[in-house]
């Protein structure tokens, strides 16, 4: 603890730092997002920044990148003071940033996105051909492969992130800021990213990494800073701290980093899926015969790299298959068949049958961002009899209900009237989770419950999911976080290319084995090194 000082502590070194921030403050209206921040990042290091949702991390980095103007404070780049009035200045100073929400033009090609704002001359052709060459080189140097002519919206999130990194490198960034880069990545993608970051560090580049995942901080950073409520509360050498200590610094209390649960006691089958197939509007077969069973009181975790049919599975079970798709097969909940197409196949009907659904993307599906919190608590259940009589809604009843849920789920700030948009990601997620879990559904569908959520909130959400299970409900959990799958699930199914590759018990498998399954390789049937099939062990 020698190198760590509370409250604006500094790490003293002689050489000029890559970045030094002094006394940075920034307010949005009446919210003080950053208060008198001091930060020093050494050249050629990876510096982590952690903090709860809304702690002010993104704001601070946006200031460094010239996206926001600070109210007060000084920025030194390479030891020299610099007024960063706009992003252009930051780029010229060698700063590149990968935002938490990517700033890509969805219907542009990779190449177009990369040269945007950094074109050579007025015509595109020379820029494009130069960029193509540079890209090839970068791809070789850092293993950053993306098809330069692919349209961005067709890329997976992981690849979109590569494009963002390439954008920064193309601009010859020396200092690279990554805001929650792994929030949307699969473990394999995250590992890949870290290899790239290490490569960049070896080249002498400086990297600032914002993340909620302590494992990543411990794994890759050299130093780490902790933010809380707009202030910088600590800066330490990673080697000299521990996850528990960081978590405590972040949240201000002790945090349980592992899920506590008793073994499941499965009851009668709740969800039965047989031969589920789905061909999307473009004619691509997304689900190729899925069979699933979930019993009361158990959590079935579905692991898999995103894009292998999990979204389609959740949407079909949730009652809203993609427009223009054809779905075949059978599904039953508590013995009653679920219509998979036609009039009976809609989300409202599903809710009446006792299905709850925490969608993968809270901002696009789970919430109406402009609605107040109390309205979002009724969202999807607005037809419920207790929310009003006849065609009219009973605001008071809904608000009373919402206040209860918000209090029980510790949504912050505990305000019914705040629009969903104005809650932090973690708290937005809590609203969705509260709404779905407190309905006490017989079957709960969950997609990526903790994406981009800070550890305090993760702990809380995990606890509630386990409680629901213990109350005898069936839960289908889809997540790309293997840690989450491993710690929450009672059984794990791995999805690959629209199929269930295999089922494993969390106690009887390893992340390595799951990783192979996720890549479409069944270790049980995969050829061994000498080409012979291993003997089947039932």
Burial state string for 171-201 with b = 16 or more CB within 10 A and e = fewer than 16: bebbbbbbbbbbbbbbbebbebbbebbeebb
**Which has the closest alpha carbon to 135: 164, 153, 117, 111?**
111
Residue 348 within binding range of ligand ATP, rule CB under 6 A: no
Residue range at the interface with ligand ATP (CB under 6 A); choices 142-150, 415-423, 462-470, 480-488 = 415-423
Residue with smaller CB distance to other proteins, 140 or 389: 389
Residue 107 neighbours by CB distance under 10 Å: 10
User: Residue 440 phi/psi, 5° resolution?
Assistant: 55, 55
Residue with smaller CB distance to Mg ion, 398 or 453: 453
What distance, in Å, lies between the first and last C-alpha atoms of the chain?
52
Long-range contacts of residues 255-258, Cβ cutoff 8 Å, at least 24 apart: 255/455, 255/456, 255/459, 256/459, 257/214, 257/455, 257/459, 258/487
CB 363 within 8 A of CB 100: no
Residue 532 within binding range of other proteins, rule CB under 8 A: no
Residue with smaller CB distance to other proteins, 5 or 118: 118
Residue 112 within binding range of other proteins, rule CB under 8 A: yes
Structure tokens at 532: 């012979």
Give residue 307's region: left, alpha or beta (phi > 0; psi -120 to 50).
left
Strand partners, 72: 25
Residue with smaller CB distance to other proteins, 194 or 379: 379
Q: CB 390 → other proteins: shortest distance, Å?
A: 9
Residue 53 within binding range of ligand ATP, rule CB under 6 A: yes
Position among 18, 40, 46, 51 found at the interface with ligand ATP (CB under 6 A): 51
Residue with smaller CB distance to Mg ion, 100 or 489: 100
Position among 68, 423, 460, 496 found at the interface with other proteins (CB under 8 A): 68
Strand partners, 328: 277
Question: From CA 507, how far away is CA 162, in angstroms rounded?
Answer: 34
Dmax of the chain from CA atoms? 73
Question: Which of other proteins, Mg ion, ligand ATP, none interacts with 375 (beta carbon under 5 to 8 A by kind)?
Answer: other proteins
Position among 283, 391, 507, 512 found at the interface with other proteins (CB under 8 A): 391
Location of structure tokens 């791995």: 494
**Which has the closest alpha carbon to 413: 398, 424, 405?**
424
Question: From CA 2, how far away is CA 18, in angstroms rounded?
Answer: 23
Residue range at the interface with other proteins (CB under 8 A); choices 74-82, 95-103, 223-231, 285-293 = 95-103
# binding residues, other proteins (CB under 8 A): 68
Residue 86 within binding range of other proteins, rule CB under 8 A: yes
Question: Which of ligand ATP, Mg ion, other proteins, none interacts with 56 (beta carbon under 5 to 8 A by kind)?
Answer: ligand ATP
Residue 71 neighbours by CB distance under 10 Å: 14
Residue with smaller CB distance to ligand ATP, 57 or 469: 57
Residue 452 within binding range of other proteins, rule CB under 8 A: no
Position among 17, 61, 115, 493 found at the interface with other proteins (CB under 8 A): 115
Question: From CA 537, how far away is CA 527, in angstroms rounded?
Answer: 15
Position among 40, 47, 57, 504 found at the interface with ligand ATP (CB under 6 A): 57
* Binding to other proteins in span 165-184, by CB under 8 A: 167
Residue with smaller CB distance to ligand ATP, 32 or 334: 32
Residue with smaller CB distance to ligand ATP, 250 or 475: 250
Residue 350 within binding range of other proteins, rule CB under 8 A: yes
Which string of x and - marks every residue 99-118 that binds ligand ATP (by CB under 6 A)?
-x------------------
Question: From CA 89, how far away is CA 57, in angstroms rounded?
Answer: 21
Give the interface with other proteins as residue ranges (CB under 8 A): 28-31, 65-68, 86-91, 97, 99, 103-108, 112-113, 115-119, 121-125, 127, 167, 318-320, 346-351, 357, 359, 364-371, 375, 378-380, 382-383, 388, 391-393, 395, 418, 422
Give the interface with ligand ATP as residue ranges (CB under 6 A): 28, 31, 33, 51, 53-59, 100, 180, 421-425, 452, 454
């Amino acid at each position: 603890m020698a190198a760590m000082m509370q409250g604006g502590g500094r790490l003293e070194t002689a050489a000029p730092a890559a970045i030094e921030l002094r006394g940075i403050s920034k307010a949005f209206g009446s919210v003080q997002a950053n208060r008198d921040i001091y930060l020093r990042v050494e050249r050629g290091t990876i510096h982590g920044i952690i903090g709860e949702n809304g702690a002010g991390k993104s704001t601070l980095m946006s200031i460094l990148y010239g996206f926001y103007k600070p109210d007060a404070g000084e920025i030194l780049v390479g030891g020299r003071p610099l007024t960063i009035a706009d992003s252009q200045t930051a780029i010229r100073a060698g700063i590149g940033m990968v935002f938490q929400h990517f700033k890509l033009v969805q219907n542009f090609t990779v190449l177009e996105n990369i040269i945007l704002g950094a074109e050579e001359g007025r015509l595109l052709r020379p820029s494009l051909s130069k960029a193509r060459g540079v890209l090839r080189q970068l791809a070789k140097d850092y293993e950053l492969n993306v098809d330069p002519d692919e349209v961005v919206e067709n890329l997976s999130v992981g690849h979109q992130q590569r494009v963002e990194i390439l954008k920064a490198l193309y601009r010859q960034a020396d200092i690279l800021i990554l805001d929650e880069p792994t929030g949307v990545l699969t473990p394999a993608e995250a590992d890949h990213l870290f290899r790239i970051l290490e490569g960049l560090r070896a080249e002498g580049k400086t990297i600032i990494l914002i993340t909620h995942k302590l494992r990543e901080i411990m794994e890759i950073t050299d130093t780490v800073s902790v933010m809380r409520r707009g202030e910088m509360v600590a800066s330490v050498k990673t080697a000299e701290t521990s996850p528990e200590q960081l978590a405590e610094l972040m949240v201000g209390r002790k945090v349980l980093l592992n899920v506590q649960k008793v073994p499941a006691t499965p009851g009668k089958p709740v969800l039965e899926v047989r031969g589920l197939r789905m061909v999307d509007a473009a004619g691509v077969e997304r689900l190729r015969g899925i069979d699933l069973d979930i019993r009361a009181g158990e959590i079935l975790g579905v692991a898999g790299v995103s894009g292998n049919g999990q979204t389609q599975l959740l949407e079909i079970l949730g009652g809203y298959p993609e427009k223009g798709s054809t779905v075949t097969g059978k599904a039953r909940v508590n013995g009653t068949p679920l219509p998979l197409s036609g009039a009976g196949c809609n989300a409202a009907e599903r809710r009446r049958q006792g299905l709850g659904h925490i969608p993968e993307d809270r901002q696009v599906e789970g919430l109406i961002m402009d609605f107040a919190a109390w309205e979002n608590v009724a969202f999807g259940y607005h037809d419920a009899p207790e929310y009003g009589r006849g065609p009219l809604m009973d605001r008071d009843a809904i608000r009373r209900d919402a206040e209860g849920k918000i209090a029980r789920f510790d949504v912050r700030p505990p305000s019914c009237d705040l629009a969903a948009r104005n809650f932090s990601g973690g708290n937005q997620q809590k609203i969705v989770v509260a709404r779905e879990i407190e309905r006490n559904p017989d079957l709960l569908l969950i997609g990526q419950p903790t994406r981009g959520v800070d550890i305090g909130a993760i702990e809380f959400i995990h606890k509630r999911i386990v409680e629901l299970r213990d109350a005898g409900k069936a839960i289908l959990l889809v997540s790309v976080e293997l840690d989450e799958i491993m710690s929450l699930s009672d059984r794990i199914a791995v999805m690959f290319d629209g199929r269930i590759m295999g089922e494993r018990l969390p106690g009887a498998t390893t992340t390595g084995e799951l990783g192979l399954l996720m890549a479409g390789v069944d270790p049980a049937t995969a050829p061994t090194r000498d080409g012979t099939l291993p003997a089947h062990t039932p």
